[in-house]
């Protein structure tokens, strides 16, 4: 997600816009709706770094091509919260989210959907590590925390493995290129 300074730098240094044009665009951007901001980001840089325009989180959860046939019973509270976190494909409202509620409330499901959506967004990019980290072959890591490591690993991995195996999108995209390594006390590596 680009912040205002990152957007200014991109427009000045990579797009070679004049400072006045950048200031005008930033003023327009700050007054725009979230959906309009997302579209502006896609028009400015998305076509260069994305091989396809990602769908929104609601479509990702509900469409059977993505997760709709797997998660057809997601609590409305979690759907609403995920839509608040991901208001548009190119914008996130938060960089970090902490879920704290009762057992069996759906935290792991919500986290799995979020991780899968982040994976999906990365898979829509031409070269995610270069675009996000500035290095073509850098690793991108997803950190998942829980009350203890075995809970984080076993529950989350079960959810992710189920979705990777059952989602038509992930099956079509990865064709066995994305697999889980052996589970151990250190966690799981996805290669």
**From CA 2, how far away is CA 94, in angstroms rounded?**
12
- Count the Cβ atoms, other than its own, within 10 Å of residue 90: 24
**Closest listed residue to residue 123, CA positions, set 171, 165, 91:** 171
More confident residue, 130 or 70: 70
More confident residue, 31 or 156: 31
Q: To the nearest whole number, what is the mean pLDDT of the chain?
A: 79
Residue with tokens 């509620």: 101
What pairs with residue 180 in β-bridges? 190
Instruction: Give per-residue pLDDT as tens, 49-91.
Output: 788 889 999 999 999 999 988 887 788 888 899 999 999 887 7
**From CA 179, how far away is CA 81, in angstroms rounded?**
29
Instruction: Give per-residue pLDDT as tens, 62-71.
Output: 999 999 888 8
């Amino acid at each position: 997600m680009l912040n205002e300074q990152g957007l200014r730098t991109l427009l000045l240094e990579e797009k070679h816009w004049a400072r006045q044009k950048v200031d005008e665009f930033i003023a327009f951007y700050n007054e725009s709706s979230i959906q309009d901001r997302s579209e502006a980001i896609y028009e400015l840089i998305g076509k260069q770094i994305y091989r396809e325009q990602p769908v929104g989180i609601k479509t990702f959860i509900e469409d059977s091509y993505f997760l709709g046939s797997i998660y057809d019973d997601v609590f409305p509270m979690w759907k609403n919260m995920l839509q608040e976190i991901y208001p548009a494909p190119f914008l996130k409202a938060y960089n970090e989210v902490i879920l704290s509620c009762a057992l069996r409330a759906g935290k792991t499901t919500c986290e799995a959907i979020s991780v899968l959506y982040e994976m999906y967004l990365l898979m829509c990019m031409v070269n995610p590590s270069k675009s996000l980290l500035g290095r073509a072959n850098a690793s991108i890591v997803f950190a998942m925390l829980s009350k203890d490591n075995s809970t984080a690993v076993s529950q989350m991995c079960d959810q992710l493995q189920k979705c990777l195996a059952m989602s038509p999108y992930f099956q079509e995209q990865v064709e066995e290129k994305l697999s889980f390594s052996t589970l151990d006390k250190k966690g799981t590596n996805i290669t």
